[in-house]
Chains A and B, each alone.
Chain A
């Protein structure tokens, strides 16, 4: 999964993505880690249909051999009809085939894009399509040991108790990286959309803003988690790629695992530690003289953030990395027991951070933050599935 730059890199291309101009039918490929899964050999053609308008056939090769049922890709496609000036997410309800949404096998993919409005392009030479994939972890439906007290969730009345029985969902294996977020900034292309003043400290943030509102990743920072993103920034990024923030309950189940790791429909693989405190178990992050996550201090090898997956040996039962430490992660839930209800109140952040004491990096501890807060200790990851 974590590969270096390939020798096919085109420096004009968006990192980690494949894009194609229909009129030119050229494939520009860049395979790297940087957060996106490797996508190769993108080809796009347009065909007419007998009954309706045209359809577009999108073929590509998802090459990462680690893609599996347990660790699938979430593939999303975006298009531009004006030579890359503006981009839109292709709605999944206009797609058919085996290469969008949750994709559980590597190999050649074919996607058919129906939809007369979107596909009746007047000037095909202006059309570009980009295919990106995020590595996810499958979290089977079923009960888990909900130990925290989620902050009221999505129900301001607070009457609805958090449900420890979650349906199937998928959560990103890694925190969103600087490289991924930089791609996003470049694609949305606005004058400052998704960007904030605190990010201008490139040394800390890892993103360099150019005068023409394009963005570059600071050298060697591609694989680090993005920081200085508000809750709204996180939500906008995830909407851009068809994902959403995990709820607190989803986040916590990703740490601890369900009562049955294969889910309640089969119940064959009982979780040996369903009430574990940390993703790896109950041992303290530094038990035995070595560190299992990036928390306060530099004895874990990192004074600030660490590249995502640096502690992958200590990932969760679903192989989700860095849930403990590194950056605190925005969740969808808000905190509704304070005076601030009705004032766009606090959101919940989970997982501790590189600045947090080890005890704060567990499955239970949450922190409240105002949604506009941009901080060096907070990032996010995506999820997809029915909202519990």
Chain B
């Protein structure tokens, strides 16, 4: 690691002032240099990203990291199939940060590790590709933005639809005024999830550093049936964790509106009554000056389908009424369906006639291209950390409204806090488990 060793990281993490000057490394890089990458978190998404970046001629995956060594083989095999060099396998991501030859940390961990993992990487002068949802809580998201700016790092959030060409065309179409004034945007996230199947606590498995996995979150007895997605300490919940893509698209399409004035929420655990903490039904209203953004989401709607695989990479549209991840934009002169996952978009005029259709393709590769390009040029990426923060903020606001009894909450954009509920403000930040503490001063 360049100027900060692991011990100093720990000091920073635990909030002790560290009198070490960190200089931003390098400027524009030569195109011939491979971008050296470490991947933190080897679940499904981490495996996909590791393989995708390893395929690139301009990148090399040098590290694969997960607290669970049992996960190594799947992703190691995938990487070694497509690149010549063999990645190092580590359980502790600080070994990646210690290696000054590494340029980039891909953070594909569960939600509770996104914040600290990203901040520590910024401190170590790594650029970061962090999966959505950006943060575990609102305060943590602010700190991530601060860290990226302070250490002059490129931080791209895995909200890849921002890089899809069809999304840009939809944005241009809306900005041309063909929908008139858009006053209502509806975001859907209608899924089908399983019930949790409780089982007794078990011994921590051999080869799994469970303490590291828990990180900033509490460390309860190990129980493999506990699904982290459904627990507040580890997650924003399965709905926001996915709906953030569509919420981000809604923001993107309507000129990246920054902050709502208020949030209202309805919903609860209606169907999947299996002991989960996070709701299986969430309806949220975000009020802006001239616009209301609505989120309709549930986990018990089997007839609602994500954009089918055969639509994602072809000239087809989803079956809009049953599209589980669509965005609907209602203007004074027209209406638009917009589909995630390369679903494309279709616009209708004031008489309900279809007037414009644009097929889509997924934006994953373009998003990765954009990230690598920004690592080289030091430009802001398409889904910059601040963009990610403002999109996931909507998820956190909806969750907090739910957790304080579905109260309508007024939001102060300056302080990024609620002006009418102390109870809600207590949920702006989590309790961090030492030593994995996000410091006030990043």
Of the candidate stretches A19-27, A245-253, A369-377, the one touching chain B is A369-377
Contact of A365 among B70, B193, B197 (CB under 8 A): B70
A210 on the B face (CB < 8 A): no
Contacts of B100 in A (CB 8 A): none
Q: How far is the CA of A198 from the CA of B70 in the complex (A)?
A: 24
- Assuming the contacts A149-B224, A296-B73, A375-B77, asked whether A359 and B195 have C-beta atoms less than 8 A apart, the reply is no
Report Cα–Cα, A376/B73, bound state, in Å.
10
CA distance A352 to B207 in the complex (A): 13
Q: Would you list 13 pairs from A and B whose C-beta atoms are within 8 A, ordered by A residue?
A: A149-B225, A158-B194, A337-B193, A341-B191, A343-B308, A344-B309, A346-B44, A353-B77, A356-B70, A356-B73, A359-B206, A365-B70, A375-B74
Inside 8 A of A376's CB, which chain B residues have their CB? 77, 81
* Neighbouring A residues of B225 by C-beta, 8 Å: 149
Contact present for B194 and A152 (CB under 8 Å): yes
Question: What residues of chain A lie closer than 8 Å to B266, measured between beta carbons?
Answer: none
Interface of chain A, main secondary structure: loop
Q: In the complex, A158 Cα to B191 Cα: how many Å?
A: 14
Within 8 A of A (CB), among B202-259: 205-208, 224-225, 227, 238, 242
- Using Cβ atoms and an 8 Å threshold, which residues of chain B touch A198? 81
Per the 8 Å Cβ criterion, residues 324-380 of A in contact with B are 328, 336-344, 346, 352-353, 355-360, 364-365, 367-369, 375-377
Contact of B78 with A375 in the complex, beta carbons under 8 Å: yes
Known: A340-B44, A356-B73, A357-B72. 9 other contacts (CB 8 A): A156-B194, A157-B194, A352-B70, A352-B73, A360-B70, A360-B72, A365-B205, A367-B73, A377-B77
A355 touches B73 (CB 8 A): yes
- Is B242 in contact with A339, judged by CB distance below 8 angstroms? yes
- Using A343-B309, A360-B207, A377-B77 as known contacts, say yes or no to A337 and B71 having CB atoms under 8 A apart: no
Q: B157-197 toward A: CB 8 Å interface, digit per residue (1/0)?
A: 00000000000000000000000000000000001111111
User: Which of A149, A344, A346, A352 is B197 in contact with, Cβ under 8 Å?
Assistant: A149
Evaluate contact between A156 and B73: CB separation under 8 angstroms.
no
Q: A365-B205, A375-B77 are in contact. Are A341 and B70 (CB under 8 A)?
A: no
Inter-chain CA distance A364–B195, complex, in Å, is 21
Structural contact, A367 and B44, CB atoms closer than 8 A: no
Question: Most chain-B CB neighbours within 10 Å: which of A198, A336, A338, A368?
Answer: A338
Q: B73-100, CB under 8 A of A: which get 1 and which 0?
A: 1101110010000000000000000000
**Which listed residue (A341, A360, A375, A377) contacts B194, Cβ 8 A?**
A341
Minimum Cβ distance to chain B for residue A364 (Å): 8
Query: Which residues does B use to contact A, with CB under 8 Å?
Result: 44, 69-74, 76-78, 81, 191-197, 199, 205-208, 224-225, 227, 238, 242, 302, 305-306, 308-309
Once the chains bind, are B207 and A359 in contact (CB under 8 Å)? yes
Question: Does A149 contact B309, Cβ atoms closer than 8 Å?
Answer: no
Max chain B C-beta neighbours (<10 A), residue from A337, A341, A346, A376: A337
B77 touches A355 (CB 8 A): yes
Q: In chain A, what residue has the closest Cβ to B241?
A: A339
* Cβ contacts under 8 Å, B70 to chain A: 352, 356-357, 359-360, 365, 367
Is there a chain B Cβ closer than 8 Å to A287's Cβ?
no
Q: Which residues of A contact B238 (CB under 8 A)?
A: 339
List CB contacts (< 8 Å) of A201-248 with chain B: none
**A159 contacts B by Cβ under 8 Å:** yes
Residues of A within 8 A of B302 (CB): 156, 342
Chain B nearest CB from A340 CB (Å) reads 8
Asked if B77 contacts A343 (CB within 8 A), the reply is: no
Given contacts A352-B73, A365-B205, contact A339 B191 (CB under 8 A): yes
Is A161 part of the contact surface with B, judged by Cβ < 8 Å? Answer: yes
Measured CA separation A286–B208 after assembly (Å): 19
> What are the residues of chain A within 8 A of B224 when measuring CB–CB?
149
- Would B309 and A355 count as touching, CB distance under 8 A? no
CA distance A352 to B72 in the complex (A): 10
Nearest-neighbour CB distance to chain A for B220, whole angstroms, equals 17
| B-contact bits for A118-154, CB 8 A (1 contact / 0 none) | 0000000000000000000000000000000100100
Question: What CA separation (Å) do A99 and B305 show in the bound complex?
Answer: 47
User: In the complex, which residue of chain A has the Cβ closest to the Cβ of B71?
Assistant: A367
List A contacts of B77 (CB < 8 A): 353, 355, 375-377
- Cross-chain contact B197 with A369 (CB below 8 angstroms): no
The winner among B199, B227, B242, B305 for most chain A CB atoms within 10 A is B199
Distance between Cα atoms of A159 and B242 in the complex (Å): 23
Residues A342 and B193 in contact, CB atoms below 8 Å apart: no
**A341: B residues at CB distance < 8 A:** 191-194
Bound complex: CA of A3 vs CA of B247, how far in Å? 63
Nearest CB of chain B from residue A373's CB, rounded to whole Å: 8
**B residues less than 8 Å from A161 (CB atoms):** 197
Distance between A226 CB and nearest chain B CB, rounded to angstroms: 16
The 6 closest A-B pairs by CB, nearest first: A158-B194, A359-B207, A360-B70, A356-B73, A355-B73, A359-B206
In contact, B192 and A342 (Cβ under 8 angstroms):
yes
Contacts of B191 in A (CB 8 A): 339, 341
**B44 A357 Cβ-Cβ under 8 A:** no
Q: Are A367 and B306 in contact (CB under 8 A)?
A: no
Question: What's the Cα separation between A341 and B238 when bound, in Å?
Answer: 13
In Å, the complex CA distance between A276 and B376 comes to 52
Complex contacts, B195 vs chain A, CB 8 Å:
157-159
A361 CB to nearest chain B CB (Å): 9
Among candidates B74, B76, B192, B206, residue contacting A369 with C-beta atoms closer than 8 Å: B74
With a cutoff of 8 Å between Cβ atoms, the chain A residues found around residue B193 in the complex are 337, 341
Task: Report the bound CA distance from A369 to B227 in whole Å.
Answer: 19
Known contacts A157-B195, A357-B69, A359-B69; is A337 also within 8 Å of B74 by CB?
Answer: no
Bound-state Cα–Cα, A341 to B227, Å: 16
Which residue of the partner chain A has the closest CB to B274?
A158
Q: Which residues of B contact A365 (CB under 8 A)?
A: 70, 205
Contacts of A369 in B (CB 8 A): 74
Find the A residue at minimum CB distance from B325: A339
Given contacts A149-B199, A337-B227, contact A367 B74 (CB under 8 A): yes
The reply to whether B197 and A158 form a contact with Cβ atoms under 8 Å apart is: yes
Tell whether, in the assembled complex, residue A343 and residue B306 are in contact, meaning their CB atoms are under 8 Å apart. yes
CA distance A153 to B197 in the complex (A): 12
The residue of chain A having its C-beta at the shortest distance from the C-beta of B48 within the complex is: A370
**For residue A356, which residue of chain B has the nearest CB?**
B73
Minimum CB distance partner of B272 in chain A: A158
A340 to B242 Cα, complex, angstroms: 11
In the complex, A139 Cα to B69 Cα: how many Å? Answer: 31
Nearest CB in chain B: distance from A161 CB, A: 6
* Residues of B close to A344: CB separation below 8 A: 309
**Beta-carbon nearest neighbor of A148 in chain B:** B224
B5 CB to nearest A CB, Å:
28
